[in-house]
Copies of this chain bind each other. A is one copy, B any other.
Amino acid sequence: MATAGRSGIGTNQEDVRRHNLGTVLGHVHRAGRLSRAELTARMGLNRSTIAGLVTELESLGLAEQAKPSGARIGAGRPSVDVKARTGAYVLAVDLRVDGLTVARVGLGGVVQARATGPVPAGHDPETIASSVVELMRLVVKDVEPGSALVGVGVGVPGIIRAEDGLVRLAPNLGWRDVPFAKILAERIGTFAVPVLGNDADLGALAEHLRGAGVGVEDLVYLSGEVGVGAGVIVSGHKLEGAGGYAGEIGHMPYVPQGKLCHCGARGCWETEIGASAIALAIGCPAERVGALGEYLEAVHEAPEDLRLVGRHLGRGLAGMVNMLNPRVIVLGGYLRSLFPLVHDDVESELAVHALIAPRELVRVTLPGLSGDSVLHGAAELAFEPLLADPVGRLAEACLDVDAALAV
């Protein structure tokens, strides 16, 4: 997954060099800081080639060399450390049904600035796009002169067509076939076409690269917001499906003739474990669902109705365990606040409904990136073109973001 979009080994020497440059940058980006010796070992190239590539990244403002920190490798001279530099950054957007977060994220996954705001009532795409741009203006205010905006990534709670960022369906926003990438692009000039991703897919990506799933090849990130979706990584690769729509676990049929779901069907799993069900269980008024996290934090002992939600969570997770046999399930969104309150209820249902062999292997856990999994995933999505071809991407990057956002 980490190498998505960077598999195209070139056919001539210059292509190979640009590819290698991106691979070095990818290692530095994911590790934040690592020694030249480690880079040499990971890439299987010789020391002088690595030194040359690092020097080129330095001259591009993407990396810097520093005195080593930490242990030496081998007995020789201490290897020089390579650090990600903030010369390039992306804008990451986490668009939720009940809130909007925009962050400026530098190489190495460092959140340099962030701003949050409400989602305009009515969920009109044009109005939301305007709100996004306002928050973008806030986070780029104090951007270091000369640093380059290299991408915009947006997490959306819906089904996204990958090739053009068309939102096929976002039931809880009331969107169907909304060209949100295009709408946003029209507002931010042409400096970087926004790339959209499903929120749960981005959560999975970020947790895999930087969170609770580092080194884990089979992972599910469950995004528990107003709707419930899953980002699934199998054998280290994103589960895409034929159209990129895989992971709509919230719409697994769960109760025959059950409650009406936003998607139009009855008895979907998310009607039992989504934000509305949680809110109802703890007496959070429907119009305050946006503050559900705070309500949950204030609960010290789960009332019976909330424990029932926990059992529904566990029973549904069991289905996921039986179907996908993941190593780690990360509970994101509201489920992050819910899980500690109903841990035993979740685990007991899991024990009843999951088959022993896959259950022995799975760990249900909280995100390593706290509430920022989707935001970090959006940033990683936006960084992908830079990591595929640093030189080419920088040549197209935006150096005057203020002007671009003034459009």
B-binding residues in A (CB < 8 A):
159, 161, 168-169, 217-218, 230, 234-235, 237, 239-249, 251-256, 263-265, 268, 315-316, 318-319, 322-327, 352-353, 355-358, 360-362
A353 in contact with B239 given A245-B325, A322-B248, A358-B245 (CB within 8 Å): no
Q: Is the CB of A249 within 8 A of B169?
A: no
Q: Using Cβ atoms and an 8 Å threshold, which residues of chain B touch A251?
A: 318-319, 322, 353, 355
Q: Is the CB of A252 within 8 A of B255?
A: no
Q: Is the CB of A324 within 8 A of B357?
A: no
Q: Is the CB of B239 within 8 A of A324?
A: yes
Q: Using Cβ atoms and an 8 Å threshold, which residues of chain B touch A322?
A: 248-249, 251-252
Distance of A315 from chain B, by nearest CB (Å): 5
Distance of A121 from chain B, by nearest CB (Å): 25
- Which residue from B246, B254, B355 sits with its C-beta under 8 Å from A325? B246
Q: Is the CB of B358 within 8 A of A323?
A: no
What separation, in Å, do the CA atoms of A347 and B235 have in the docked complex? Answer: 32
Q: Is the CB of A326 within 8 A of B254?
A: no
Mind listing 15 A-B residue pairs with CB under 8 Å? A168-B357, A218-B240, A234-B240, A234-B241, A234-B246, A242-B361, A242-B362, A246-B358, A247-B323, A248-B325, A249-B323, A251-B353, A253-B319, A253-B353, A263-B355
Q: Is the CB of B265 within 8 A of A241?
A: no
Q: Is the CB of A356 within 8 A of B235?
A: no
What separation, in Å, do the CA atoms of A230 and B265 have in the docked complex? Answer: 24
- Which residue from B243, B248, B327, B355 sits with its C-beta under 8 Å from A361? B243
- Measured CB to CB, the nearest residue on chain B to A158 is B357
- Measured CB to CB, the nearest residue on chain B to A239 is B234
Q: Using Cβ atoms and an 8 Å threshold, which residues of chain B touch A352?
A: 264-265
Question: Assuming A248-B358, A251-B353, what are 9 further A-B pairs, CB within 8 angstroms?
Answer: A159-B358, A168-B356, A240-B325, A243-B357, A246-B325, A248-B323, A251-B318, A252-B319, A323-B323
Q: Using Cβ atoms and an 8 Å threshold, which residues of chain B touch A324?
A: 239, 241, 246
Of the listed residues A168, A169, A353, the one surrounded by the most CB atoms of chain B closer than 10 A to its CB is A353
Distance of A41 from chain B, by nearest CB (Å): 19
Distance of A277 from chain B, by nearest CB (Å): 14
Q: Is the CB of B318 within 8 A of A253?
A: yes
Q: Is the CB of A265 within 8 A of B353?
A: yes
What separation, in Å, do the CA atoms of A384 and B183 have in the docked complex? Answer: 51
A356 in contact with B234 given A256-B255, A315-B253, A323-B246 (CB within 8 Å): no
Q: Is the CB of A355 within 8 A of B253?
A: no
- Measured CB to CB, the nearest residue on chain B to A358 is B245
Q: Using Cβ atoms and an 8 Å threshold, which residues of chain B touch A265?
A: 318, 352-353
Q: Using Cβ atoms and an 8 Å threshold, which residues of chain B touch A362?
A: 242
Q: Is the CB of B357 within 8 A of A327?
A: no
Q: Using Cβ atoms and an 8 Å threshold, which residues of chain B touch A358?
A: 159, 241-243, 245-246, 248
Distance of A321 from chain B, by nearest CB (Å): 9
Q: Using Cβ atoms and an 8 Å threshold, which residues of chain B touch A244?
A: 325
What separation, in Å, do the CA atoms of A319 and B269 have in the docked complex? Answer: 10
